[in-house]
Structure 1
Amino acid sequence: MSRCSVLLSVFTVFVATSALPAASVLVEAESFDEPGGWKLDTQFIREMGSPYLLAHGLGRPVSDAKTTITVPETGTYHVHVRTKDWVARWNAEGAPGRFQVLINGETLDVDFGSTGAEWFWQPGGTVELEKGEVTLTLRDLTGFDGRCDAIYLSTEDNDTPPNSGRILSEWRREQLNLPNEPIVESGYDLVVIGGGYSGMGAAISAARSGCRVALIQDRPVLGGNGSSEVRVWAMGNIRRGKYPRIGEIVEEFADKATKSPGTFEEFEDAKKEALVRAESNIDLFLNHHAYQVETDGDHLTAVYAFDTRTSADRRFEGTLFCDATGHGTIGFLAGADWDMENAGRMGMSNMWAWAEADEKVNFPETPWALDLTMKDFPYPRDHHGQWFWESGFDKDALGDAEAIRDWNLRAVYGAFNAMKNRDGASKHETAYLTWMAYIGGPRESRRLMGDVILTADDITAKKDFPDGCVPSTWSIDLHYPKQQYAKKYPENPFISVAEHDRSVDRNYGYPVPYRCFYSRNIDNLFMAGRCISVTHEALGTVRVMKTCGMMGEVVGKAASICVLRDCFPRDVYERYWSDLDVLLKLPGKAYRQDVEGVFTIPDDALPLAGPLGPPSGIDPAKLEGIVIDDRDALKTGHWTEGTGLKPYIAFGYAYSTDPKASLTYRATAPKSGEYEVRLAYQPHENRGAEVPVTIHSPASTQSIQVNMQKPAPHDHGFISIGNVRLKEGEEISVVLRTTGAGGNVHGDAVQLILTD
Structure 2
Amino acid sequence: MKHATESYDIVVCGGGLAGFAAAVAAARMGHRVCLVQDRPVLGGNSSSEVRVVPRGSTTYHAYAREGGVLAELMAGERLRNHEPIFENGWANSVWDLALYDIAQRTDNLTLLLNTAVRDVAVVDGAITSVTGWTVSAEKETELRGRVFLDCTGDGVVAALAGCEFRVGEEARAEFDEPHAPLEASEHTMGNSLHFKTKDVGHPVEFELPDWAVEYTDPAFFYEQGRRPHDVRGGFWWIELGAPWHTIHDAEELRHELTRHTLGVWDWMKNKDPHTREATRTLALDWLGQVPGKRESRRIVGLHLLTEHDLFRTAPFPDEIAYGGWNIDLHTVGGLLAGSSEPTAAEGYDPHATAAVAGYVGPFGIPLRSLIAKDVTNLLMAGRNVSATHVALGSVRVQSTTAIMGQAAGTAAAVALDRGIGVQDVPSSAIADVQQQLLKDGCFLPHVVNTDEDDLARAATVTASSDAPYLGASPGDRWVDGGLEEKVRPGADFLTALRGQWIPVETGPEAPGLASVRVLLRNHTGAEVAIPARLQRAAHIWDYRVETGAVLAKATLRVPPGEHWVDWDVAVDRGALGDPGPGGRYLRLDLAATPDVEWVRAGRVLPGAVSAFEMTPGRMRRFGDGVTMSHRVQPAQRAYPAASVVSGVARPHAATNLWRSDPGHPFDQWVELAWDVPRHVGSVHVTFAGHLLREYDRTPPLWADPQTSRDYTVRALVDGAWRDVVTVRGNGRQRRVHELAEPVTTSRLRLVVHATNGDPSAAVYEIRCY
TM-score tier (shorter): 0.5 to 0.7
How far, CA to CA, are the matches of 1:543 and 1:351 in structure 2?
18
Aligned-pair distance for 1:281?
2.1
Indicate how the Cα distance of structure 1 residues 230 and 721 shifts in structure 2: closer, same or farther if over 3 A, else same: farther
Indicate how the Cα distance of structure 1 residues 749 and 302 shifts in structure 2: closer, same or farther if over 3 A, else same: farther
How far, CA to CA, are the matches of 2:342 and 2:571 in structure 1?
56
Q: Are residues 1:362 and 2:205 paired?
A: yes
Give the secondary-structure state (helix, strand or coil) at the position aligned to 2:330: strand
Residues 84-142 of structure 1 show CA distances to partners (whole Å, capped at 9, x for unaligned) of xxxxxxxxxxxxxxxxxxxxxxxxxxxxxxxxxxxxxxxxxxxxxxxxxxxxxxxxxxx
Indicate how the Cα distance of structure 1 residues 689 and 443 shifts in structure 2: closer, same or farther if over 3 A, else same: farther
Q: 2:612: which partner in 1?
A: none
Q: Which runs of structure 2 are paired with 1:3-402 in the superposition (5 Å)?
A: 178-179=1-2, 182-186=3-7, 188-237=8-57, 247-254=67-74, 258-265=85-92, 268-341=95-168, 342-375=185-218, 376-377=220-221, 378-383=226-231, 384-402=233-251
Give the secondary-structure state (helix, strand or coil) at the position aligned to 1:744: strand
Aligned-pair distance for 1:686?
7.2
Give the secondary-structure state (helix, strand or coil) at the position aligned to 2:132: strand
How far, CA to CA, are the matches of 1:623 and 1:262 in structure 2?
43
Q: 1:625: which partner in 2?
A: 468
How far, CA to CA, are the matches of 1:583 and 1:373 in structure 2?
55
Q: Which residue, 539, 543, 549 being the options, matches 2:396? A: 543
Indicate how the Cα distance of structure 1 residues 339 and 664 shifts in structure 2: closer, same or farther if over 3 A, else same: closer
Indicate how the Cα distance of structure 1 residues 535 and 360 shifts in structure 2: closer, same or farther if over 3 A, else same: same
Indicate how the Cα distance of structure 1 residues 240 and 572 shifts in structure 2: closer, same or farther if over 3 A, else same: farther
Residues 367-419 of structure 1 show CA distances to partners (whole Å, capped at 9, x for unaligned) of 11113225354452220331111001331111111111111100011233345
Indicate how the Cα distance of structure 1 residues 659 and 570 shifts in structure 2: closer, same or farther if over 3 A, else same: closer
Give the secondary-structure state (helix, strand or coil) at the position aligned to 1:479: coil
Corresponding letter in the other structure for 2:47: S
How far, CA to CA, are the matches of 1:727 and 1:284 in structure 2?
60
Indicate how the Cα distance of structure 1 residues 426 and 559 shifts in structure 2: closer, same or farther if over 3 A, else same: closer
Identity of aligned residues (%): 28
Corresponding letter in the other structure for 1:218: D
Corresponding letter in the other structure for 1:252: E
Q: Are residues 1:579 and 2:432 paired?
A: yes
Residues 638-666 of structure 1 show CA distances to partners (whole Å, capped at 9, x for unaligned) of xxxxx8559xxxxxx99735799999997
Aligned-pair distance for 1:684?
8.6
Q: 1:451: which partner in 2?
A: 302
Corresponding letter in the other structure for 2:113: L
The count of aligned residue pairs is: 512
Cα contact 1:459–1:504 (8 A) shared by 2: no
Corresponding letter in the other structure for 1:656: L
Residues 536-581 of structure 1 show CA distances to partners (whole Å, capped at 9, x for unaligned) of 1111111011111111121122112211222221111233334334
Q: 1:476: which partner in 2?
A: 327
Cα contact 1:687–1:744 (8 A) shared by 2: no
How far, CA to CA, are the matches of 1:622 and 1:223 in structure 2?
42
Residues 210-257 of structure 1 show CA distances to partners (whole Å, capped at 9, x for unaligned) of 32211112222221112222222222227999x999732221124777
Q: Which residue, 596, 608, 622 being the options, matches 1:743? A: 596
Cα contact 1:355–1:431 (8 A) shared by 2: yes
User: Which 5+ residue runs of structure 2 have no aligned equivalent?
Assistant: 79-83, 169-184, 345-353, 444-450, 458-463, 474-484, 535-553, 577-585, 600-627, 637-662, 664-769
Residues 414-465 of structure 1 show CA distances to partners (whole Å, capped at 9, x for unaligned) of 2333455667797555442122222111000001111111222343455754
Cα contact 2:522–2:559 (8 A) shared by 1: no
Aligned-pair distance for 1:358?
3.0
Q: Which runs of structure 2 are paired with 1:649-688 in the superposition (5 Å)?
A: 656=494
How far, CA to CA, are the matches of 2:574 and 2:368 in structure 1?
48
Indicate how the Cα distance of structure 1 residues 673 and 510 shifts in structure 2: closer, same or farther if over 3 A, else same: closer
Aligned-pair distance for 1:515?
0.9
How far, CA to CA, are the matches of 2:592 and 2:408 in structure 1?
53
Corresponding letter in the other structure for 2:259: R
Indicate how the Cα distance of structure 1 residues 502 and 248 shifts in structure 2: closer, same or farther if over 3 A, else same: farther
Indicate how the Cα distance of structure 1 residues 299 and 272 shifts in structure 2: closer, same or farther if over 3 A, else same: same
Give the secondary-structure state (helix, strand or coil) at the position aligned to 1:300: strand
Q: Are residues 1:563 and 2:416 paired?
A: yes
Indicate how the Cα distance of structure 1 residues 363 and 728 shifts in structure 2: closer, same or farther if over 3 A, else same: closer
Cα contact 1:198–1:550 (8 A) shared by 2: yes
What TM-score does the superposition give when structure 1 sets the normalisation length? 0.57
Give the secondary-structure state (helix, strand or coil) at the position aligned to 1:478: coil
Q: 2:365: which partner in 1?
A: 512
Indicate how the Cα distance of structure 1 residues 602 and 441 shifts in structure 2: closer, same or farther if over 3 A, else same: farther
Cα contact 1:238–1:247 (8 A) shared by 2: no
Aligned-pair distance for 1:520?
0.6
Indicate how the Cα distance of structure 1 residues 184 and 460 shifts in structure 2: closer, same or farther if over 3 A, else same: same
How far, CA to CA, are the matches of 1:183 and 1:660 in structure 2?
63
CA RMSD of aligned residues (A): 5.1
If you compute each CA radius of gyration, which structure gives the higher value, 1 or 2?
1
User: Which 5+ residue runs of structure 1 have no aligned equivalent?
Assistant: 1-177, 591-597, 606-620, 631-642, 647-652, 711-718
Corresponding letter in the other structure for 2:367: Y
Aligned-pair distance for 1:185?
2.0
Indicate how the Cα distance of structure 1 residues 457 and 730 shifts in structure 2: closer, same or farther if over 3 A, else same: closer
Cα contact 2:302–2:368 (8 A) shared by 1: yes
Give the secondary-structure state (helix, strand or coil) at the position aligned to 1:480: coil
Mean CA deviation greater in 190-199 or 305-314:
305-314
Give the secondary-structure state (helix, strand or coil) at the position aligned to 2:244: coil
Indicate how the Cα distance of structure 1 residues 211 and 432 shifts in structure 2: closer, same or farther if over 3 A, else same: same
Q: 1:412: which partner in 2?
A: 261
Cα contact 1:657–1:745 (8 A) shared by 2: no
Give the secondary-structure state (helix, strand or coil) at the position aligned to 2:331: strand
How far, CA to CA, are the matches of 2:569 and 2:522 in structure 1?
31
Indicate how the Cα distance of structure 1 residues 521 and 626 shifts in structure 2: closer, same or farther if over 3 A, else same: same
Aligned-pair distance for 1:586?
2.4
Q: 1:110: which partner in 2?
A: none
Corresponding letter in the other structure for 1:293: V
